[in-house]
A and B are shown apart, each in its own frame.
Chain A
Amino acid sequence: MADYKFHLLVCGGTGCHASNSDVLAENLKAELAEHKLSEEVQVVSTGCFGFCEKGPIVKVVPDNTFYTQVAPDDARDIVEEHVIKGRKVERLLYVDPNKKEQIGDSKHMDFYKKQLRIALRNCGFINPENIDEAIARDSYAAMAKVLSEMTPKDVIQVIKESGLRGRGGGGFPTGLKWEIAANNEADQKYVVCNADEGDPGAFMDRSILEGDPHTVLEAMAICGYSMGADKGVIYIRAEYPLAIHRLKVALKQAREYGLLGTNIMDTGFNHDIELRYGAGAFVCGEETALIRSMEGKRGEPTSKPPFPAQEGFNKKPTNVNNVETFANIPPIILKGSDWFSSIGSEKSKGTKVFALAGKINNVGLIEVPMGTTLREVIYEIGGGIKDGKKFKAVQTGGPSGGCLTEKHLDTPIDFDNLLAVGSMMGSGGMIVMDEDDCMVSVAKFFLEFTVEESCGKCAPCRIGNKRLHELLVKITEGKATKKDIRNMRNLCHVIKDTSLCGLGQTSPNPVLSTLENFYDEYMEHVENHNCPAGQCKALMRYYVLPDKCIGCGACARACPVGAISGERKKEHVIDQHLCIKCGACLEKCKFDSIIVK
């Protein structure tokens, strides 16, 4: 075994990969070879570090130096300066956005201080394409323990006692789900991993599959053992090519080692896993639609009962769990249910992975104990709002969740608290908005998404969401009345109460929560035809300030529709009927005499 003194961990997640981290890793290897250091320094492509805002990331071990935004050409400096001379490459170090100071190593970054990584424990730590590194980090040890020391009932008992709840959105107790599937007798049963992650801006499942695929395979085998299923299927969207590639590599390696397949570890237990690709329809994240899609049918949900645990894939008992849920299983088996249930809040145990996005300084992937407050996540881990602007709202739970405001910042995040304040955990997307965001437009954006993704099977969702979207458009155009707002609220409740599946039952949430928390903003649109955030194009007005205008005519020449008129050296006027609000005049004016209201 080579005696490496340094490990250069290069992020190989999708985000950093897109910024040429693979070229960077090759360059690092080439530089090291040139300096005859290949025997002493190891370059490892890992999964996502979570700090996607500043990717590509290179972490130097053992001194934990954390380099951000590393370009392929920086390889020479890292090798010549850091590795050979022992001097940190200062220009690549992370600068704290609030304190404006350089931070040399990951241990001192606020981003990592508050995090507790269980599901993401191996992401950014091991090479996901090397099963040996995974085994060195205890992969398959939980499966070995289960097969050699525990009965299926024991396993279910441990998971039940741990208090683990489904991380895909619903929050259903995982142990109970397994028990129901185990109790249904059949000649064939299935374990299904739901990797159809569809929320806009969410990428936790992808990162786990890319950074630590073996943990998911292992957990599926454990689940299979507990419920008596010898077949597993991972339903993953074809839009995740890197995750699919790493899964395929992991499956091949696990089979070669005999950790998947027939007669695993000489215990007579068989389990093998195959991949099924989804075409990226949001509704296929709903388990009954997912199962239909796996069977090659249209991805439409069916009514429950029968539940998948009774009649699922190929009409056999099927247990569907989300990727993140599975990633929690091996540590629970190894460390015990008491350890797991000691983390988190009263009714939500363990940790949750969130994808931070929007107007926040540290965009990325984080994992925190349940019960952490929104304030801690946004201001301490997330580093606060970009450009020093004011926080306005945070949207949790993706298109099915709601918008929470300043008054909710100290709410501890868990399944029940978020539901109580009108949002939901969902799969863990978290989009932060600042004072420049119009809440009506935000609601409209999410509705656009649901209208697009509705499968069309049931009328409330197919027609209701479409009408709801039309009402929102009307508001943003300043054409709505108070009656429209009342109708909109009623329509929301009807859609929620009568839709067939989770998609329709939750799609009005963004509208209802913004109506609740930002009613004044809606009324400002309706009564005064004004968008306070200045986002709704139809409500914007461009004006010339008479005292500042010198009559140069630059704006008139720039206007594509000839809406600006005026004599030379005299003040100009914008014709509001002709103006298309393109903003060309504003850009051209050198005297700041054009304003938007």
Chain B
Amino acid sequence: MTKIKTLADLKKMRSSLKGEIELRQQSENPDSVVQVKVGMGTCGIVSGAKETITFFSEALRKRDIPAVVTQTGCMGYCHSEPTVEVTLQGKEPILFGNVDPAKADEIIEKYIKKGQLVDGVIPITFKTIED
């Protein structure tokens, strides 16, 4: 095993290891990072939500965007599956429909990075008991 010889060694090692626990660290303060929720009900899964969630978690990591990607149950918009809810820091959640990997890429590049809305936003048509 390689020995750690300098402060720089340790720092280098730390940053290369950070990814291992990054998910845990970010989930400590989910409100301070981008939150992506993918609807993974039966309808979502058959419509390809699995590919979508995999794409999101891989792409966000590769592009160095601190984010928490979670799955959730069916959100009720079965006509537009897979559905994805994105919450940027300090903003209202936005729900996107028919999100395949290509659409996901567009959401990351335009909405998450620049704050520009893209096609496919589903207007929220219900209230929850928390509202």
On A, residues with C-beta under 8 Å from B are: 1, 3-5, 7, 9, 61-64, 85-87, 125-126, 132-133, 135-138, 140-141, 144-145, 147-148, 256-259, 265-266
Contacts and interface: CB of A to CB of B under 8 A. Distances in A.
A86 B21 contact: no
A133 B21 contact: yes
A128 to B, nearest CB: 13
A3 B58 contact: yes
Given A62-B23, A85-B40, A136-B17, 7 more contacts: A5-B57, A86-B71, A86-B73, A141-B11, A256-B1, A257-B1, A257-B4
- Say whether chain B's binding surface is mostly helix, strand, loop, or mixed: helix
Interface string B7-21: 101110110011111
Contact of B23 (A7, A86, A137, A256): A7
B75 to A, nearest CB: 11
B89 interface: no
A61 B10 CA distance: 27
B41 to A, nearest CB: 7
B61 interface: yes
For the complex of A and B, the 9 pairs showing the least CB-CB separation, nearest first, are A258-B3, A86-B71, A62-B27, A136-B17, A86-B40, A62-B68, A144-B7, A63-B70, A256-B1
A265 B23 contact: no
A7, A140, A144, most chain B CB atoms within 10 A: A144
B26 interface: yes
Nearest to B71: A86
A574 to B, nearest CB: 58
Contacts of A1: 19-20
A560 B53 CA distance: 69
Given A86-B73, A126-B21, A135 B57 contact: no
Nearest to B13: A135
Given A85-B40, A86-B41, A257-B3, A61 B24 contact: yes
A265 B41 CA distance: 52
Nearest to B42: A85
A133 B21 CA distance: 7
Interface of B: 1-7, 9-11, 13-14, 17-21, 23-24, 26-27, 30, 40-42, 53-54, 57-58, 61, 68-73
A85 B30 CA distance: 21
Given A136-B14, A138-B14, A266 B20 contact: no
B10 to A, nearest CB: 5
18 contacts: A61-B24, A62-B27, A62-B30, A62-B68, A63-B27, A85-B40, A86-B40, A86-B73, A87-B73, A125-B24, A133-B20, A136-B14, A140-B4, A144-B10, A147-B7, A265-B5, A265-B6, A266-B6
Contacts of A132: 17, 20
A5 B53 contact: yes
A61 B9 CA distance: 29
B7 to A, nearest CB: 4
Contact of A136 (B20, B40, B72, B73): B20
B10 A140 contact: yes
A61 B27 contact: yes
B73 A9 contact: no
A62 B58 contact: no
B49 to A, nearest CB: 9
Contacts of A145: 7
A136 B21 contact: yes
Interface centre among B5, B27, B54, B61 (most CB of A within 10 A): B27
Contacts of B11: 141
Contacts of A266: 5-6
B54 to A, nearest CB: 8
Contacts of B4: 140, 257-259, 265
A3 B21 contact: no
Contact of B14 (A63, A141, A148, A258): A141
Contacts of A140: 4, 10
Contacts of B1: 256-257
A140 B13 CA distance: 11
B107 to A, nearest CB: 18
A136 B18 contact: yes
B24 A9 contact: yes
A136 B12 CA distance: 10
B7 A148 contact: yes
Nearest to B39: A86
Contacts of B2: 257
A148 B40 CA distance: 50
A135 to B, nearest CB: 5
Nearest to A83: B71
A3 B7 contact: no
A64 B23 CA distance: 11
A133 B25 CA distance: 11
